[in-house]
Copies of this chain bind each other. A is one copy, B any other.
Amino acid sequence: MLIIMGLEAPREDIEKVKTKIELCGCIPHEIPGSSKLAIGITGPTNKLNEDDFQLMPSVHEVVRVTKKFKLVSRQMKSEDTVIDFGNAKIGSKELAIIAGPCSVESREQMFLIADQLKNMGINFLRAGAYKPRSSPYSFQGMKEEGLKILDEVKNKFDIKIVTEVLNPGTLPLVAEVADIIQVGARNMQNFNLIEEVGKTGKPVLLKRGMSATVEDLLLSAEYILAQDNYNVILCERGIRTFETSTRNTLDLNAVPVIKSYTHLPVIVDPSHGIGIGDKIAPMALASVACGADGLMIEVHPNPAEAMSDGFQSLNPKQFEKLLGKLSQLAPIVDKEFELCRTVK
């Protein structure tokens, strides 16, 4: 259930509505909007009586929310959520590009790629310090040492850091460095972790699980919003199907479908989505063409020598070429993407 009030509603009226909700054992959530104030309600809403609210001062409307997901739904908030990072935004008309290597491998590697990306006008750097790997014998990341490198890079290049958290134990360390905390596909339904991540208040990048439906993804996001953290970015990265010629099946259908269900930004990771280096650029273009708010792309100074996922990384030159195409494509789908002057 959702209580719509005017933006001009006095604080007193708002508090009265919230108190009434709490008296019934439910939780009120103030949802920021540009033309009206909405109070979302979660909990045992069957105990609430619509009519009781309709007559309260400053209340314009009472709306039933019919989807299983509440706070993430367009019914709760019709306008797009925009997450503002100062020098860049995610969810606005501005196309958001997150780029970088799969893993932090060394200080040199990170300084090199951060410099290259920053010069191309990229404001979000991705790189994993902790790596989830199917086999216990694979490289698991540089861990705390990797985080330290990311912190240095962040300060030196004024670039936002996107990095993955694997468990609540290391969350405080990750949250200190990350501008956006990434939750990987395998942890999308690790509900305790996502709740804890939500509580940090930091923007969260939530990747869709390999066998998660669109509804599952939105319900997981709901766990984060229920912590009153509205800064969630959803990421399509491919699902598991019978097809074996590609690493995953990138479900681009999900982009317009998710955008119609939720106000949250949606980005696409074509690197994992197809898993074949020379086919990432076309899938990146397709992602933007069908309405993605941004992209997350693996870029490595030297893909052939990457410690993980090199086969699906672009080198800086290939990436720069893709940026050129994106800048041409963006306006066609009502997005903006300005190439940095340094890109020829």
Contacts and interface: CB of A to CB of B under 8 A. Distances in A.
Contact of A246 (B242, B253, B279): B253
Contacts of A283: 252-253, 256, 290
Contact of A135 (B132, B219, B333): B219
Contact of A216 (B42, B134, B257): B134
A213 interface: yes
A282 B273 contact: no
Interface stretch (A1-9, A188-196, A199-207, A293-301): A188-196
B246 A257 contact: yes
Interface stretch (A50-58, A76-84, A164-172, A304-312): A164-172
Contacts of A70: 137
A223 interface: yes
A202 B136 CA distance: 19
A242 B240 contact: yes
A133 interface: yes
A251 to B, nearest CB: 5
Interface stretch (A17-25, A112-120, A145-153, A324-332): A324-332
How many identical subunits does the complex contain? 4
Contacts of A257: 245-246, 274, 276, 279
B240 A253 contact: no
Given A289-B289, A332-B329, A243 B239 contact: yes
Interface in A161-193: 166-169, 186-187, 189-193
Nearest to A243: B213
Interface in A83-138: 132-137
Given A242-B213, A252-B252, A285-B289, A168 B166 contact: no
Interface of A: 42-43, 68-70, 132-137, 166-169, 186-187, 189-193, 195, 209-211, 213-216, 219-220, 222-223, 226, 238-246, 249-257, 260, 273-274, 276, 278-279, 282-283, 285-291, 325, 328-329, 332-333
18 contacts: A42-B136, A69-B135, A135-B222, A137-B222, A167-B193, A169-B192, A186-B191, A187-B190, A213-B242, A213-B243, A239-B249, A240-B242, A243-B251, A250-B251, A252-B252, A260-B279, A282-B333, A332-B332
